[in-house]
Structure 1
Amino acid sequence: MGESWGAFFGGVEPRWVEVGEHPGWDAALALVNRDVGVTLPEEEPLRLVALPGYEEGAPESVYVALANGEWHGNALEPGAEEEPRSALAAVAEAAQDTVTERLWRAWPVCDEHRLGTHVREEDGRVVWWCAGERRAGPGHVVAGVGELTGVGGAGGRRARRKRRKR
């Protein structure tokens, strides 16, 4: 998994979570990875990594990581994977934390306002929400998680300049 993480976790190395170990997280991550593929085509799909529980008998901690094994943020809440909307919201938030902090970029980005979006539940769906411009009115749904179709989040200033030059 790239560099040794053992020094950070008392000698314990994180491990890749195999598909099928956490079906709820797997399903949610598959949707989030659709958005990664559309908006960050240069990145490989995100993965789940796990560390043993901090106390004996505690469940292991599962994180959303980049393909190289790096992650940022809190572990996914044990048990939240049982309810699909909760699992999707948790995985989307964890993915956003990892992408934002490890790649140093807002993700995903609203193409209209050029602002980073946030995970939110709207009308019974988990969505990427843009706060919009304060003077221009209320925020709006950019897309459901797993349903992004544009290039939002695909590159910050440099990509915007490229698009403007076309």
Structure 2
Amino acid sequence: MSALFDPPEPRGVLPGEYPLWDEALALVNRDLAVTLPDQGRLQLLGLPSYDEGVAEYVCVALANGEWHGNVLDPDSADDPVLALAALTDAAQETVAECLWQAWPLCGEHDRGMHPREANGKLSWWCAGANTPGEPAHIRAAVGGLGGRVRAVPDEAWPRCGAPGPRRRSAGEAR
């Protein structure tokens, strides 16, 4: 007869344990406060790892501890650009899946926006197109929602079919 297995509970990650993820989380939480002010701050949770060589996985959770989706790539903890990109993706997925809504929404088009790099910054990008020929635009840099819309010329975006970043599963080798 086998005993029931109770997996260990996630733990709240303390400030300073992952400094670059903390900085990225602060930016994303600024956007959340502007767009979903009643939601509360996102937080980092540590999840036990069953993979050799990985102490724990970290995910982005709602203020109430719910989370969904990707854990943060451990390699992104040491690079500011990768940290912001990984955390923004994970935060957006947690909000969308736990609250069942697109987040953040473009105030002009009422459509979900996505993080995209342009001019060396990670920004919230909207596909636009309420009318034919309307250009895609950047609403704001991640952390800067509430500002004005900035149109982005077509040549600033990767071409269709151009290779983009590929997500790896948590245990996948590089």
Larger RCO, structure (CA 8 Å, separation 6 or more): 1
Matched AA of 1:116: G
Question: Residue 22 of structure 2 aligns to a residue in which SS?
Answer: helix
- Name the counterpart of 2:98: 102
- The reply on whether 1:141 has 2:138 as its aligned counterpart is yes
Larger helix share, 1 or 2: 1
Match of residue 64, structure 2, among 49, 62, 68: 68
Deviation at 1:83, TM superposition (A): 1.5
Matched AA of 2:143: G
Cα distance between partner residues in 2 of 1:133 and 1:32: 26
- Name the counterpart of 1:3: none
RMSD: 1.7
Q: Kindly report which structure 2 residues correspond to 1:100-139, keeping only aligned pairs within 5 A, or say none.
A: 100-133=96-129, 135-139=132-136
Matched AA of 1:142: R
Cα distance between partner residues in 1 of 2:44 and 2:101: 21
Match of residue 50, structure 1, among 36, 46, 58: 46
What TM-score comes out, normalization by structure 2 length? 0.77
Instruction: Please say if residues 92 and 119 of structure 1, whose CA atoms lie closer than 8 Å, have aligned partners that are also in contact.
Output: yes
Cα distance between partner residues in 2 of 1:128 and 1:60: 29
- Name the counterpart of 2:165: none
Larger radius of gyration: 2
Count the aligned residue pairs.
143
Deviation at 1:10, TM superposition (A): 4.5
Question: Residue 74 of structure 2 aligns to a residue in which SS?
Answer: coil
List gaps (5 residues or longer) in structure 1. 1-6, 151-166
Cα distance between partner residues in 1 of 2:104 and 2:7: 34
Question: Residue 34 of structure 2 aligns to a residue in which SS?
Answer: helix
What TM-score comes out, normalization by structure 1 length? 0.81
Cα distance between partner residues in 1 of 2:135 and 2:55: 41
Percent identity of paired positions between Structure 1 and Structure 2: 56
* Runs of 4+ that moved beyond 4 A: none
Deviation at 1:53, TM superposition (A): 1.4
List gaps (5 residues or longer) in structure 2. 148-174
Cα distance between partner residues in 1 of 2:52 and 2:120: 37
Question: Residue 114 of structure 1 aligns to a residue in which SS?
Answer: coil
Cα distance between partner residues in 2 of 1:20 and 1:110: 32
